[in-house]
């Protein structure tokens, strides 16, 4: 957090009931954000943020285990296509019997 406005926004979000996370300045390299139910607002030693919502991604495979499409689940019932980059397009499954012609939904983990 660098500006007063950003700090105020995080504190206001906490007042409205949003979950807050903190990062001890010495742990910045590791990026270990921790949930803090009662923040101390010690800005000289910690950074604070509103806990991010987990992101969900859907991956559609063909019968041979190749990725056909990737999409982001933005809001309930809505999808946003995600461009296939070389990393995503190279996904290959050794045993595709369970995923062939199916969609795999991945949910980001934001809790430790």
Tokens at 86, concatenated: 């070389």
The token pair at 100 is 């062939």
What's the whole-number average pLDDT of the chain? Answer: 74
- The percentage of residues in the chain with a pLDDT greater than 90, rounded to a whole number, is 30
Among residues 71, 88, 91, 67, the alpha carbon closest in space to that of 80 is found at 71
pLDDT at 106: 63
For 16-66, what is each residue's pLDDT tens digit?
999 999 988 876 666 788 899 999 999 988 999 999 877 777 777 777 777
What residue segments make up the domains of the chain, in order of their start? 4-50, 56-107
Which residues, 6+ apart, have CB-to-CB distance to 60 below 8 Å? 67, 68, 69, 70, 71, 102, 103, 104
* pLDDT attached to residue 58: 74
pLDDT of residue 92: 45
Helices (H), the chain: 4-15, 86-89
- pTM of the predicted structure, to 2 decimals: 0.57
Ramachandran class of 17: left when φ > 0, alpha when ψ lies in -120 to 50, beta otherwise: left
């Amino acid at each position: 957090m660098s500006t007063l406005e950003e700090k105020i926004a995080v504190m206001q979000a906490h007042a409205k009931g949003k979950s807050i996370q903190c990062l001890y300045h010495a742990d910045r390299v590791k990026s270990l954000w921790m949930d803090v139910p009662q923040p101390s607002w010690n800005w000289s030693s910690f950074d604070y943020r509103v806990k991010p919502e987990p992101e969900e991604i859907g991956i559609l495979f063909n019968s041979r285990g190749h990725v056909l499409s990737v999409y982001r689940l933005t809001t309930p019932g809505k999808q946003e296509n995600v461009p296939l980059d070389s990393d995503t397009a190279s996904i290959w499954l050794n045993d595709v019997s369970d995923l062939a012609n199916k969609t795999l939904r991945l949910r980001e983990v934001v809790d430790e």
